[in-house]
Chain A
């Protein structure tokens, strides 16, 4: 009897261990929220775009899943097993009947200095200075859907680890149909020019990557106010207007949780917005709404009045989006100015 139970349990355990991961389920679980279940894109880029999926190797996809794109929204998935990553790749292969390409790992030898000049002339307009990539995210509502893919950040450590020189060279030679990326041969470049460009792109590896995750930030911007709650609120209203923001409303932290009129009047929230700034932030990353509209809180506890806001500089790290840095830095300055004006 004991032996039978043991055998049964071992068979059960073995069946669980040996069960092949379901690529479609894994894709739905980990990828679809950004890339869409059909891979047509969203916050993430459109992976099922024929000219993309047909021109990248399994290894490129595997490494991309493993490392992500630091500072470019796509997270890393280090916890997935090899079998799960392979299942994801196999699922993505189902979007095309074309044979899977392979790219060798032989380096392409070219003149990186000359490639830099060619890059500035032919590539920088879309891929940005130093290959930092296009602006915005995927194909979500923040940009027109006629643009099927955003120019990738070629200087990204995740991209450089995933893409071999020959893959980059092939992309330059053949372009990506259905995207603004045209064949460099059609543009008039020679194979030597292309090799020089590949060498320049590979040289980005030598530059330190400025990732959003590298910085540790305090969670809040906070200051003590020498004024009463009411006086501080009035000061804040004036300071918000001075910074060209519009006050939307003033309410309490407990708003919506307790009966109207019975909120704790010592916990006040001022909501305000600058619509141009809001649109700019949403265009960079549509997910930033979780920190919108702008808010500043005034609290009184133990006789002390405190003014506080979130620290926007924390955001770019939370969102794995280096592009948010500049907007967040600007917003941090605005929050600091508003608070300083109100408590001086």
Chain B
């Protein structure tokens, strides 16, 4: 009885801790976003470093901002970062060709005044495109990693 009570209370405390975790439940939506108080160049470095530390490859950084200011935009700092793990990209695109247009996943990063904002599609969105439970877990892991990378990104200026 005592042991059960302890387990119950431990579970209660544990579940409350998850809710209290500043990044555990954040942005439970189709897009995952983060704001950094670092300026664009530093924020870009932080993002790429964290991506690599989490075991992913930055396959390409694409500028999509050529001529932005000429069109009346307030910044010309806008990049798209292509990210993935070689084996997983190869595996997923071979087994699920319909995923190929979405692969590798991308993170867009742009300056917003003195801050920098990063946005990506929640990898959980891709889970709906496949039916193998084992493979769906790949996207669960990606999702956790995105949150972790974005946590690094948003907290870098405070460190």
Give me the interface of A with B, judged by CB distance under 8 Å. Answer: 2, 5-6, 9-10, 12-13, 16-17, 19, 25, 28-30, 32-34, 36-37, 42-43, 75, 79, 140-145, 219-220, 222, 253-258, 264, 267, 271, 273, 275, 278-279, 282-283, 286-293, 295-297, 299, 301, 306, 308-310, 317-320
Q: Which residues of A contact B101 (CB under 8 A)?
A: 220, 295-297, 308-310
Q: Mark B31-67, 1 if CB is under 8 A from A, else 0.
A: 1011101000000000000000000011110101011
- Selected from B17, B30, B73, the residue in CB contact (under 8 A) with A142 is B73
Contacts A12-B13, A33-B35, A42-B35 known; A141 to B112 CB distance under 8 Å? yes
Which single residue of chain B is at the shortest CB-CB distance from A30? B26
Contact-size category for B: 35 or more
Which single residue of chain B is at the shortest CB-CB distance from A81? B19
Per the bound structure, the CA–CA distance linking A37 and B34 in Å amounts to: 12
Per the bound structure, the CA–CA distance linking A317 and B128 in Å amounts to: 14
Q: Which residues of B contact A253 (CB under 8 A)?
A: 89, 93, 100, 103-104
Contacts A287-B119, A289-B64 known; A29 to B26 CB distance under 8 Å? yes
Q: Which residues of B contact A143 (CB under 8 A)?
A: 74
Chain A interface, DSSP helix/strand/loop, else mixed = mixed
B144 within 8 A of A: no
Q: Which residues of A contact B67 (CB under 8 A)?
A: 275, 279
Interface CB pairs A-B, < 8 A, 10: A16-B16, A16-B17, A17-B16, A33-B154, A254-B86, A257-B59, A258-B86, A282-B78, A301-B94, A301-B97
- Selected from A28, A141, A318, the residue in CB contact (under 8 A) with B31 is A318
Per the bound structure, the CA–CA distance linking A222 and B72 in Å amounts to: 36
Q: Judge whether A257 and B86 touch: CB under 8 Å.
A: yes
Contacts A257-B84, A279-B68 known; A220 to B94 CB distance under 8 Å? no
Whole-angstrom distance from the CB of A91 to the nearest CB of chain B? 14
- Selected from B17, B71, B108, the residue in CB contact (under 8 A) with A287 is B108
B138 within 8 A of A: no
Contacts A16-B17, A29-B26, A34-B33 known; A279 to B86 CB distance under 8 Å? no
Which single residue of chain B is at the shortest CB-CB distance from A317? B30
Contacts A33-B34, A220-B101, A254-B89 known; A290 to B108 CB distance under 8 Å? yes
Q: Judge whether B62 and A293 touch: CB under 8 Å.
A: yes
Whole-angstrom distance from the CB of B18 to the nearest CB of chain A? 11
Whole-angstrom distance from the CB of B101 to the nearest CB of chain A? 5
Per the bound structure, the CA–CA distance linking A75 and B113 in Å amounts to: 23
Whole-angstrom distance from the CB of A343 to the nearest CB of chain B? 15
Q: Judge whether A42 and B129 touch: CB under 8 Å.
A: no
Q: Judge whether A290 and B80 touch: CB under 8 Å.
A: yes
- Selected from B12, B26, B104, B125, the residue in CB contact (under 8 A) with A13 is B12
Per the bound structure, the CA–CA distance linking A61 and B75 in Å amounts to: 31
Which single residue of chain A is at the shortest CB-CB distance from B71? A279
Per the bound structure, the CA–CA distance linking A286 and B77 in Å amounts to: 12
- Selected from B12, B74, B100, B106, the residue in CB contact (under 8 A) with A267 is B100
Q: Judge whether B73 and A257 touch: CB under 8 Å.
A: no
Q: Mark B1-38, 1 if CB is under 8 A from A, else 0.
A: 01001100110110011001011011111110111010
Contacts A29-B26, A219-B128 known; A42 to B13 CB distance under 8 Å? no
Q: Which residues of B contact A320 (CB under 8 A)?
A: 29-30
Q: Which residues of B contact A301 (CB under 8 A)?
A: 94, 97
Q: Judge whether A29 and B29 touch: CB under 8 Å.
A: no
Which single residue of chain B is at the shortest CB-CB distance from A310? B101
Whole-angstrom distance from the CB of B78 to the nearest CB of chain A? 6
Per the bound structure, the CA–CA distance linking A220 and B75 in Å amounts to: 32
* Residues from 117 to 156 in B contacting A, C-beta threshold 8 Å: 117, 119-121, 125, 128-129, 154
- Selected from A279, A288, A291, A297, the residue in CB contact (under 8 A) with B100 is A297
Which single residue of chain A is at the shortest CB-CB distance from B118? A33
- Selected from A30, A145, A273, A296, the residue in CB contact (under 8 A) with B74 is A145
Whole-angstrom distance from the CB of A317 to the nearest CB of chain B? 8
Q: Judge whether B31 and A222 touch: CB under 8 Å.
A: no
Per the bound structure, the CA–CA distance linking A19 and B13 in Å amounts to: 12
Whole-angstrom distance from the CB of B85 to the nearest CB of chain A? 8
